[in-house]
Amino acid sequence: MHRTRAARLATAVLASTLLTAAGAAAPASAAAVHNPVHQRAEQHIPFTAATVTQNDNGTYTITWNTSKVQRVTVYAGTSQDRISHKHPVATGAGRMTVTVRGLGAADRWWFELVPDHGHPLTLADRSLHLASAPNLRDAGGYRTADGSWVRMGVLYRSGDLSKLTDADMAKLTRLGLRTVYDLRTPSEQSASPDRLPRGVKAVTANVTGTTDTGNVSIPTPEAAVKLMTDGEKAMVSSESGRAAYGSLLTAVGHGSGLLYHCTAGKDRTGWASAAILTALGVPKSTVMQDYLLSNTYRAAENAAALAQMPEAQRPIYKPLMDVRKEYLDAGFAEVKAKYGSFDRYLDKALDVSARELRERLLVD
């Protein structure tokens, strides 16, 4: 089979992931990932790492590390614009882990970490904790190599949206969702149409360029892994992949309240997030950690799907359900092979301005 056709088929297979098992509640999650300390001028955000985790009992664990800060005061609010500074919910030293209790019910709690000098940092738990869409999460909250932070509350990633409940759609409306980019094929869209809040704009950006997900024989686990890596490469270099991601990243640079998704929220969506975060200057190690989080958020769905298969088939199909380091590495290797650098990929393949993305999505 011609390599281009094989790559497209690989992309299609990883698109469907044959997962129709019922969704499960998303696990507690970290809202940012530790990065190496990078010294910044005191007028900038001095936090070198920070996480917010919503726990099952309704408490929140907040961890931070700072550069040249002796005291941090934490305030809470139900939106980024509604954070009260009358009463702090926690205080601590420059490096600290605290637990916040008694905040009550809200769509999403936000926490403003105010250092004794430098700019504050506002974060929330990354997951939106929707049982109907367990891999729906905020794409922001990461620190860049030069010490800026990716805004939260403006960009989201997800898997299938066909099972959203009325309550979940109302929550997304209140959180400011305006546009949804659907990276799936027409057959996927027809089989599992999105349920979207009223007034949300739907945009199709078909990464594979095919009508359906295709059929291909997968005899061994090794063949499944190759299918996945070939598909990752096709997302980078195929004409349809370039068009879809170019359209998405252009929209990301000009708007907010945007969500992008595919079927599982891990492969086509995974490359979208990897491209956005890399363009913003987030270190590759952090980009990889974000990519691999799909294994955590999808753990229950994957386990349920595997349990329904004959035992002999499970080792073959598991690589299609996973995200693995070698898959994303294949995408970055394709960027280097075809374009020489990530900046040239953005410029030549996607026609996207990294500067516009950074101006829109970074705070420092």
pLDDT band at 3 (very low <50, low <70, confident <90, very high): very low
* Cα separation, 198 vs 174, whole angstroms: 12
Q: How many domains does the chain have?
A: 2
* Cα separation, 73 vs 117, whole angstroms: 11
Task: Report helix, strand or coil for 296.
Answer: helix
pLDDT in the model for residue 82: 87
Same domain, 306 and 160: yes
Last residue of a domain, one of 125, 157, 189: 125
- 194-237 residue pLDDT tens: 999 999 999 999 999 998 766 778 999 999 999 999 999 999 99
CATH code of the domain containing 95:
2.60.40.10
Q: Which of 297, 317, 291 is nearest to 305 (CA)?
A: 317
Same domain, 61 and 179: no
CATH code of the domain containing 315:
3.90.190.10
Same domain, 100 and 211: no
pLDDT band at 12 (very low <50, low <70, confident <90, very high): very low
pLDDT in the model for residue 214: 67
**What mean pLDDT, rounded, does the chain reach?**
89
Residue 19: is its pLDDT beyond 50? no
- 253-301 residue pLDDT tens: 988 899 999 999 999 999 999 999 999 999 999 999 999 999 999 999 9
* Cα separation, 358 vs 150, whole angstroms: 8
Same domain, 98 and 181: no
Same domain, 170 and 194: yes
Same domain, 234 and 105: no
pLDDT band at 138 (very low <50, low <70, confident <90, very high): very high
Beta strand pairing call for 362-363 and 149-150: antiparallel
pLDDT in the model for residue 317: 95
Burial class (CB in 10 A: 0-12, 13-18, 19+), 80: middle
Please state whether the predicted TM-score (pTM) of the whole model is above 0.85. yes
The answer to whether 141 touches 75, Cβ cutoff 8 Å, is no
Look up tokens 């209140």; give the residue.
Answer: 174
Same domain, 102 and 154: no
Same domain, 87 and 189: no
Same domain, 98 and 136: no
pLDDT in the model for residue 37: 39
Same domain, 218 and 323: yes
List Cβ neighbours of 196 (8 Å cut-off, separation of 6 or more): 161, 164, 169, 180, 202
Once rounded to an integer, what is the mean pLDDT over residues 42-52? Answer: 89
Last residue of a domain, one of 102, 125, 148: 125
Task: Report helix, strand or coil for 132.
Answer: coil
Last residue of a domain, one of 83, 98, 125: 125
Q: Which of 69, 76, 262, 287 is catalytic?
A: 262
- Spatial strand order of the sheet with 121-124 comes to 90-92, 72-77, 110-115, 121-124
Is 262 noted as a catalytic residue in this protein? yes
Same domain, 53 and 190: no
Structural domain of residue 78, as residue ranges? 30-125
* Cα separation, 123 vs 149, whole angstroms: 10
Once rounded to an integer, what is the mean pLDDT over residues 156-169? Answer: 96
Once rounded to an integer, what is the mean pLDDT over residues 30-39? Answer: 43
Same domain, 215 and 178: yes
